[in-house]
Amino acid sequence: MTPADPPPSPESRVAYLDCLRGLAAVSVVLAHIVRNLLLPYNTLPNGEWLQQLVYHSPFYLFIHSAISVKLFFMISGFSLSYPILMNHGSHKIRQMALYRIFRLGVPMIFSALLIYAFLKMELYSTNEAFALVKQRWLLRLSNFEPNLTDAVFGTIIRFLLNIPSDFPRYNNVFWTMPIEFAASMSLFALQFMFARQALWIRSLVYLVLTILLWKSLYLGFVLGAALCDWTIHLQPQERLKRLLSPTALSGIEIAIIALFLAFFSALRLFPRFGSILEYHILDGNVLEYLLALTILVVASLRNHLHAWITTPFIRYLGKISFSLYLVHIPILASFSCWLFVTLHAWIDHQIVIAILVLTTSLPLIVLVSHLFHHLVEIRTLNWIKTRITRPSNAPCRRHVTRSSGSGSV
């Protein structure tokens, strides 16, 4: 970008990031339903051919939640760095940090309270589902006595302090939240110190952090921040512009996607090859980051792909992505498990049961996420923006008409 170029709209850039986040959230939901309930590997009778199709083919990418979580982290690093870097470090980082605490923490507590209510009303059917599929992940959702104090203060302790405790984890997806919180605060501190420095200095910092965090889950935030910085401030050469022009769709995406799918399929089809690669060449965490980074880089560089990604429905999924992430577990543990157990008593066909559970559970999860988004997320955002992060000399606005999912995981 040259100095004369107008800066891109934050809303337009966040839009495609939110859409990617929405798709990643759907992938996590599918992973938890398919891998832990419908098709747990090598546990269901008469389902071997379907399991082979799902687990040893490119279809597995759609239910590989580890890659989706890595993508979440990189998108957070990108979107949190964007307003700071666009304003050359003058953006109010303290307000962003305070916003981040409540933006993540309040919906997280309400999610724990929702699960507490489900458990108290004995709506979970995880024990009955475990009797059929022998998947211990299901038992971890309800193997504790619900307690209101644990639900609230245990969640806060795990989120803010990230210390081991006897408090049960009310929502299995909470394991990512301390990482999100700690990495966000560290990223704000990093940008506070270096956002006004020269790009080569920031690039050196990104390189050092990448080396230090090579096998860490925090690597995604560094990669996202670096990609954001370079996307904003590096001006592509004419040859690169021609290569990445809309008319050059001739092969670059097709080649990247083909290599992406072929490489990943090879790991699934030839486990020995995957083991050699993982344990002797690349750490599994690093490999997942490379695959997730491929998605984010292609989406960031190819502006014409934004029109494909930002369709109205995917934009909607991006808007409710944080709610999808937080509320799908109680729906899975209650309705999905109950329906799965009930259908097994009537139908002896695994693929029919899987289709029925998916086609009924997914709309219900979206509906509950929609309600959670409007009743919890938007109200939280309104409160934050009018009471905490608004400038002292600005008039207080009682309502915020538009919200973005850019602060979620």
**Residue 127 to residue 142: CA distance in whole angstroms:** 8
Residue 286 is predicted with a pLDDT of 73
In a domain, 90, yes or no: yes
What residue type is 296 in one-letter code?
L
Domain count within the chain: 1
In a domain, 306, yes or no: yes
**Residue 126 to residue 149: CA distance in whole angstroms:** 23
What is the token pair recorded at 49? Answer: 């051919």
**Residue 390 to residue 399: CA distance in whole angstroms:** 13
In a domain, 409, yes or no: no
**Residue 170 to residue 167: CA distance in whole angstroms:** 9
In a domain, 364, yes or no: yes
What confidence tens digit (pLDDT) does each residue in 285-327 have? 677 787 788 777 777 666 556 666 778 898 899 999 999 999 9
Residue 258 is predicted with a pLDDT of 57
Residue 257 is predicted with a pLDDT of 57
Which residues in the chain come in under a pLDDT of 70? Answer: 1-14, 41-53, 56-58, 89-91, 160-168, 234-285, 300-308, 388-409
Residue 14 is predicted with a pLDDT of 63
In a domain, 5, yes or no: no
Measuring CA to CA, how many Å separate 311 from each of 8, 21, 23, 300, 316? Answer: 19, 13, 12, 16, 9
What residue type is 35 in one-letter code?
R
Residue 9 is predicted with a pLDDT of 40
Which letter, b or e, does each residue of 219-256 get, where b requires 16 or more Cβ atoms within 10 Å of its Cβ? bbbbbbbbbbbebbeeeeeeeeeeeeeeeeeeeeeeee
In a domain, 2, yes or no: no
Range of the domain at 294: 10-387
**Residue 358 to residue 328: CA distance in whole angstroms:** 12
**pTM score:** 0.81
In a domain, 371, yes or no: yes
Residue 196 is predicted with a pLDDT of 87
Measuring CA to CA, how many Å separate 294 from each of 122, 260, 288, 311? Answer: 43, 8, 10, 21
Q: Taking the CA atoms of 319, 321, 326 and 329 in sequence, report the sign of the dihedral they define.
A: positive
Q: How open is the CA angle 287-289-292, to the nearest 5 degrees? A: 115
Residue 246 is predicted with a pLDDT of 46
Of 325, 330, 322, nearest to 381 by C-alpha is 322
Residue pair 263/52 in contact (Cβ under 8 Å)? The answer is no
Residue 49 is predicted with a pLDDT of 66
| DSSP H or E stretch at residue 403 | none
> What DSSP state is assigned to residue 216?
S
In a domain, 72, yes or no: yes
What confidence tens digit (pLDDT) does each residue in 165-179 have? 666 678 889 889 889
What residue type is 171 in one-letter code?
N
